[in-house]
């Protein structure tokens, strides 16, 4: 095992960077420079962790980079970190997205505060993904609300106050169910084994409970994580928040915070409460399929490009939920890979939409016709990222959805058949949107400059990841699959085919 110091750096370095950016606020451009350096170091450390990660430990479902320090034993509060093949990709995704958000969606109004909130959000998101203690996860999970709220409320669009309030209230209310459930589970474990209160995953997983108790706890967890993902019908905050947030905020909400919900559902709801799965699985699979079809239908009908990506994300997170709940190793691997790929793809889409908004001052599809003639490179970049979102073979989105559907077909065929309709609908709404934005005749006053060299360099890593993982996903799958296999084995009753 490697030292937990690496993860400690990943968690707390952005917070130090946020403080340094605020201290440097009197010097023009200094906060931005501090933030970019901090995010660059964060990405470098995350890549080092990914390379050093001992995937042989995954065969025993063991975490790497583990460290645990009890902070307040009477309250069960501990700092407990580690990563496995499930969280590894999300750690890298977090570091990548914040750097791209800083470089591609810079806000010069109150810049020190803006970059500080972004870096604080990175700390809380990273802490959530490396936490191995349920209470620790909950604290980081809740703290993500604060910087997210201020990013939307201060730098968002015309309805930013309403969007920020709705986002905060929905997610905070959902988290009340999670908090109640974790307290019940923690005290139940203490009652059974005695000793100090603990919320460590390994301890809670061994807690004995009735089937009914497991079901109610799963429902409580699923509500909190379903709001965050989002999953239908708990999604209604997301279209407004995604549309009104600044570009960097939209990137963070869709690429990272949505993954906190699906990660929590997999790690804690499924991982700690396998006894409930036989009862809740049909309902969760049904909600996942509804999210896929309903989100796709709304994406085809919306007149706003940012809302289109929001509804598309609802559909894509439906695929993630489908993969998580099938109980298949293949589908679980696909769901984890889709979390990463969807995060990269939506970050790219929101970056490109931000480029378009700078040029046309609007994200309304009807106002964006004929852009291909004057901005062919922008159109080409949009095409690549859009095709990845559709799931075109050879691009990263395909392998993720393919694994989810193959795994789902092997265990729950009818839900997989219904979900396949979402793949077709994705092609419909994304290709139709592309035609309305880039095709047609543009007026002379609608001519816009093409992407600059700087903008091309910012979007280049996303295009590279989309292509490379579409053609050669094996190195990533080798990291994820052993952990996914052991995870599914641990939550599946003996004698059941996985």
Q: What b/e string do you get for 87-109 counting C-beta neighbours within 10 Å, with b at 16 or more?
A: bbbbbbbbbbbbbbbbbbbbbee
Residue the block writes with tokens 């609608």: 446
Tokens in use for 19?
Answer: 């403080």
- pLDDT, tens digit, for every residue of 236-258? 888 888 888 898 888 988 889 98
What pLDDT does residue 497 have? 46
Mean pLDDT of the chain: 88
Q: How confident is the model at residue 90 (pLDDT cuts 50, 70, 90)?
A: very high
What's the rounded Cα separation, in Å, for the pair 34 and 19? Answer: 10
Q: What is the rounded distance in angstroms from the CA atom of residue 116 to the CA atom of residue 105?
A: 14
Asked if pLDDT for residue 494 goes beyond 50, the answer is no
**CA angle, 95 as apex, 89 and 98 as ends, to 5°?**
130
Per-residue pLDDT for 34 more than 60?
yes
pLDDT digits (tens, 9 = 90+) for 274-302: 889 889 999 999 999 999 999 999 998 88
Q: What is the mean pLDDT of residues 406-418?
A: 88
* Digit-coded pLDDT (tens) for 114-129: 999 999 999 999 999 9
CA distance 365 to 268: 40
pLDDT reading at 220 higher than 50: yes
Q: What is the pLDDT of residue 61?
A: 58
From the number of C-beta atoms within 10 Å of its C-beta (0-12, 13-18, 19+), residue 420 rates as middle
CA–CA gap between residue 498 and residue 410 (Å, rounded): 8
- Using one digit for the tens of pLDDT, what is the confidence trace for 415-465? 888 888 888 888 888 998 888 888 877 655 566 788 888 989 999 999 999
Task: Answer whether 45's CB lies under 8 Å from 13's CB.
Answer: yes
DSSP, collapsed to helix, strand or coil, labels residue 442 as coil
Beta strands in 21-137 (DSSP E): 64-72, 77-83
User: pLDDT of 165-209, one tens digit each?
Assistant: 998 999 989 889 999 999 999 888 888 887 778 888 778 888 888
Dist CA 341 CA 390 (whole Å): 12
User: Which of the 8 DSSP states describes residue 449?
Assistant: P
- pLDDT value for 37: 94
* Residue 59 confidence (pLDDT): 54
Query: Which of the four pLDDT bands, split at 50, 70 and 90, describes residue 23?
Result: very high
Q: Tens of pLDDT along 301-333?
A: 888 888 999 999 999 999 999 999 998 889 999
**CA distance linking residue 218 with residue 273, whole number of Å:** 7
pLDDT score of 496 more than 70: no
């Amino acid at each position: 095992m490697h030292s937990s110091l690496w993860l400690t750096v990943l968690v707390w370095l952005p917070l130090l960077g946020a403080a340094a950016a605020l201290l440097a606020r009197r010097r023009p451009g200094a906060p931005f420079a501090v933030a970019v350096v901090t995010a660059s170091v964060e990405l470098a450390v995350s890549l080092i962790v990914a390379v050093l990660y001992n995937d042989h430990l995954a065969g025993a479902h063991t975490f790497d980079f583990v460290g645990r320090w009890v902070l307040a034993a009477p309250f069960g509060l501990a700092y407990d970190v580690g990563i496995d093949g499930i969280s590894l990709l999300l750690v890298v995704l977090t570091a990548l997205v914040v750097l791209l958000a800083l470089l591609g969606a810079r806000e010069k109004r109150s810049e020190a505060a803006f970059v500080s909130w972004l870096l604080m959000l990175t700390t809380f998101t990273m802490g959530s993904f490396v936490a191995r203690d349920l209470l620790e996860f909950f604290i980081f999970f809740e703290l993500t609300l604060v910087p997210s709220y201020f990013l939307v409320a201060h730098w968002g669009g015309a309805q930013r106050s309403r969007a920020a309030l709705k986002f905060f209230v929905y997610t905070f209310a959902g988290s009340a169910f999670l908090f109640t459930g974790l307290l019940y589970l923690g005290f139940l474990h203490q009652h059974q084994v005695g000793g100090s209160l603990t919320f460590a995953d390994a301890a809670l997983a061994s807690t004995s409970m009735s089937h009914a108790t497991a079901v109610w706890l799963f429902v409580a967890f699923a509500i909190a994580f379903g709001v965050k993902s989002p999953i239908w019908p708990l999604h209604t905050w997301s279209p407004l928040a995604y549309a009104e947030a600044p570009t960097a905020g939209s990137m963070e909400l869709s690429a990272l915070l949505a993954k906190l919900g699906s990660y929590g559902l997999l790690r804690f709801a499924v991982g700690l409460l396998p006894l409930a799965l036989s009862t809740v699985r049909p309902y969760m699979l049904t909600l996942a399929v509804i999210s896929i079809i309903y989100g796709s239908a709304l994406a085809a009908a919306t007149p706003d490009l940012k809302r289109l990506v929001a509804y598309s994300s609802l559909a894509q997170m439906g695929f993630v939920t489908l993969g998580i709940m099938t109980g298949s190793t293949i589908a679980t691997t696909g769901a984890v890979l889709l979390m990463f790929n969807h995060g990269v793809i939506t970050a790219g889409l929101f970056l490109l939409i931000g480029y378009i908004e700078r040029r046309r001052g609007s994200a309304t599809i009807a106002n964006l016709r004929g852009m291909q003639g004057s901005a062919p490179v922008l159109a080409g970049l949009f095409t690549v990222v859009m095709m990845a979102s559709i799931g075109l073979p050879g691009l990263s989105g395909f392998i993720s959805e393919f694994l989810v559907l193959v795994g789902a077909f092997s265990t729950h065929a009818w839900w997989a058949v219904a979900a396949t309709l979402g793949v077709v609908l994705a092609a419909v709404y994304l290709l139709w949107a592309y035609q309305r934005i880039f095709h047609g005749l543009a007026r002379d006053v609608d001519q816009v400059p093409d992407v600059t060299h700087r903008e091309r360099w910012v979007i280049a890593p996303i295009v590279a990841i989309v292509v490379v993982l579409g053609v050669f996903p094996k190195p990533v799958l080798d990291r994820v699959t052993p952990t996914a296999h052991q995870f599914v084995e641990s939550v599946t009753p003996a004698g059941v085919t996985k």
